[in-house]
Amino acid sequence: MKFVWAFLGAALLSGCYYVYPASSPTLSQCRFANEDGEIVEHLFVENCGWYLFYTIPICCGDTDESHWFPLVFFDDQVTNEIIQRRFAERVKAKGARAVGITMVNRDTVTFDVPGLPFPVVVPYILCAREVQISGTLIRDVGEEKRDE
Amino acid sequence: MNRFFGTLLTALSLAGCVSVSATKELAGIGAEGGAKNALVVEIVASGWYLFDLLPIVTANSKGEAEFFKDNLCAQSNLDVLDEIVKSENVRRIGMISSHETDEGVLVFLVNRHTFRTTATLLKD
């Protein structure tokens, strides 16, 4: 029984929402392919969560950064729409446009258990899901800076 | 028991590392925007987390393992890329892409995170 509680507790801690902006003075002096304008930053946004029967969200990272608690329960926030919206909000706040956008969606239904030589498959009972998006923000030279 | 934890800590500290692969095999084939040489760079930084949340050991942008500090992020990888851009005197970038992968070990107790950034640097 203790194992089950530890399992559930650890699982609930695992839903996380991250926004990683990254910039560098050297890169901002480079051109991005044939685009005009300066490179503002490279942006990476990720959210992940746990689902029951592949569809019912148990616990996800909270994409609303104004909330103090980083998790939401029974609220599906690991979707392409929500992550793309958060990405777009950041791009707009920077007064930039995004180029070279890539997205990654991943589902995991296999888990390593100590002592077993193979991962345990828990098909459609418990599933970990994550959505990631990354891109490069470019601002036309002379355009007004609108940092958040 | 102490020996076990010593071995575990050593293994974890070795496992939090940064590897940089910068290949020039695409030189001369022509790339985006008429660039003659493309340098494909992949920066892979990894680290171990307790309960998928608390950093045990992660790699910093210098490739050193740091305990209880979360260094895995886009900025850390971009700092490494910045050094390559400087050293190769690159003026144009074809693509930058990042993604993260997680591996659960001991069910959810310990997780290994890997943050990858791939970039195509264009040289005329």
B3 pLDDT above the threshold of 60: yes
| pLDDT for residue A93 is more than 80 | yes
Q: Which two tokens stand for residue B12?
A: 């974890």
Distance between CA A68 and CA A29 in Å, rounded? Answer: 37
Mutate to test the interface with A, among B85, B99, B117 (most CBs of A within 10 A): B99
Among A3, A5, A17, A27, which would you mutate to test the B interface (most chain B Cβ atoms within 10 Å of its Cβ)? A27
Chain A positions in Cβ-Cβ contact with residue B117 (cut-off 8 Å): 42
Interface test with B, best of A4, A20, A107, A111 (most B CBs within 10 A): A20
Lowest mean pLDDT, pick from A27-36, B24-33, B65-74: B24-33
Minimum CA–CA partner of A104 in chain B: B99
Residue in A10, A27, A29 closest to B109 by CB:
A10
**Total Cβ atoms within 10 A of residue B66:** 16
| Distance of alpha carbon B105 from alpha carbon B6, whole angstroms | 18
Residue of A nearest to B105 (CA): A112
pLDDT for position A94: 92
Residue labelled with tokens 């589902």: A107
How far is the C-alpha of A138 from the C-alpha of A42, rounded, in Å?
9
A121 touches chain B (CB under 8 A): no
SS3 (DSSP) at B19: strand
pLDDT digits (tens, 9 = 90+) for B70-116: 888 899 999 999 999 988 888 889 889 999 988 776 556 778 889 99
Give the C-alpha separation, B45 to B114, whole Å: 6
Q: Does A110 touch chain B (CB under 8 A)?
A: no
Prediction pTM value: 0.80
Output the average pLDDT for chain A. 82
Q: Please name the residue of chain A whose CA is at the shortest distance from the CA of residue B115.
A: A44
- What is the distance of C-alpha B119 from the center of its chain? 12
Residue of B116, B92, B83 whose CA lies nearest to B102: B116
For the stretch B51-81, pLDDT in tens is 777 888 888 888 888 888 888 889 999 999 9
3-class secondary-structure state, position B84:
helix
Q: Which residue of B has its CA nearest to A99?
A: B95
- Which tokens is A20 given? 């990683």
The 10 Å Cβ neighbour count of residue B104 is 21
